[in-house]
């Protein structure tokens, strides 16, 4: 992971996209509640497993990204790297900050 090419704008765009996915999942769950037969299908059960797996991968990726940013920031802040970092334009980066409540995966209950 290379946190040097992540801008605050790109990070905000990613967070917006993730909010859109959460919104779509909420709408899907509302539809499923209205169609109980859908819950019993093999394809829908597979979807549930995939959603859980995807949420886990997203969590791991967030942690990996934040660890890479932290390592980058530590390197940039150490002497004598601070001299070179300032001269060459390397600045401290901001890690991923999730929206409040985003640390908990949406519950898929049927």
Q: Give the domain extent around 17.
A: 3-88
pLDDT one-digit tens code per residue, 16-53:
787 777 777 777 777 777 776 766 677 777 887 888 88
Torsion of CA 96, 29, 49, 11, to 10 degrees: -10
Report the predicted TM-score, pTM, of the whole model to 2 decimal places: 0.53
Higher pLDDT, 89 or 4: 89
CB 21 within 8 A of CB 102: no
| 51 dihedral zone (left: phi>0; alpha: psi -120 to 50; beta) | alpha
64 domain residue, yes or no: yes
84 domain residue, yes or no: yes
95 domain residue, yes or no: no
Classify burial at 86, counting beta carbons within 10 Å of its beta carbon; exposed 0-12, middle 13-18, buried 19 or more: exposed
99 domain residue, yes or no: no
> How many domains, in total, are found in the chain?
1
């Amino acid at each position: 992971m290379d946190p040097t090419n992540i801008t605050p704008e790109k990070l905000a765009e990613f967070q917006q996209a993730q909010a859109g996915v959460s919104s779509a999942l909420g709408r899907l769950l509302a539809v499923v509640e209205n169609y109980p037969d859908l819950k019993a299908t093999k394809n829908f059960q597979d979807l549930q497993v995939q959603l859980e797996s995807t949420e886990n991968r997203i969590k791991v990726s967030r942690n990996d990204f934040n660890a890479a940013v932290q390592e980058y920031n530590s390197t940039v802040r150490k002497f004598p790297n601070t001299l070179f970092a300032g001269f060459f334009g390397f600045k401290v980066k901001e890690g991923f900050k999730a929206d409040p409540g985003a640390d908990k995966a949406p519950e898929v209950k049927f």
